Amino acid sequence: MFEKLKQFKDLREKAKDIQSKLAEEKVLATAAWGKIKMEMNGNQEVLSVSVDEELLASKSKIEDAIKEVTNEAIKKAQKVMADKMMKDGGFKMPGM
């Protein structure tokens, strides 16, 4: 019983360590031919968004581009997360 508790505690500590390392990882995604940029950390938190003024004239273009750049940034952050968990935590992520 105590061994299971120790394993759980070790797993929690390892997960916290990985999460703090992921906060330091950064991915950059672009959309609309580089006119929208989004930076996200490995915990999938948006750090910055940049929109070229040229896109501001078209509401629908900017909405589509924001959706595209967000999805791309999330995919990149998920890959960073999966790689970090497999490398540092010994976890296996299905589908990644």
| 96 domain residue, yes or no | no
Please give the residue that has the higher pLDDT: either 44 or 96: 44
**Main-chain phi, psi angles of 51, to 5 degrees:** -125, 125
Left (φ > 0), alpha (ψ -120 to 50) or beta: where does 33 sit? left
Give pLDDT tens digits for 71-87: 999 999 999 988 888 88
Assigned domain for 7 exists = no
State the pLDDT confidence band at 50, using cuts at 50, 70 and 90: very high
Beta strands in 35-82, from DSSP E residues, in sequence order = 36-41, 46-51
For residue 43, give the CATH number of its domain: 3.30.1310.10
Query: How far apart, in Å, do the first and last CA atoms of the chain sit?
Result: 33
Domain that holds residue 31: 23-89
Q: Considering its fold, how many domains does the chain have in total?
A: 1
Per-chain mean pLDDT for the chain? 86
Residues 6+ apart with CB under 8 A from 46: 38, 39, 40, 70, 73
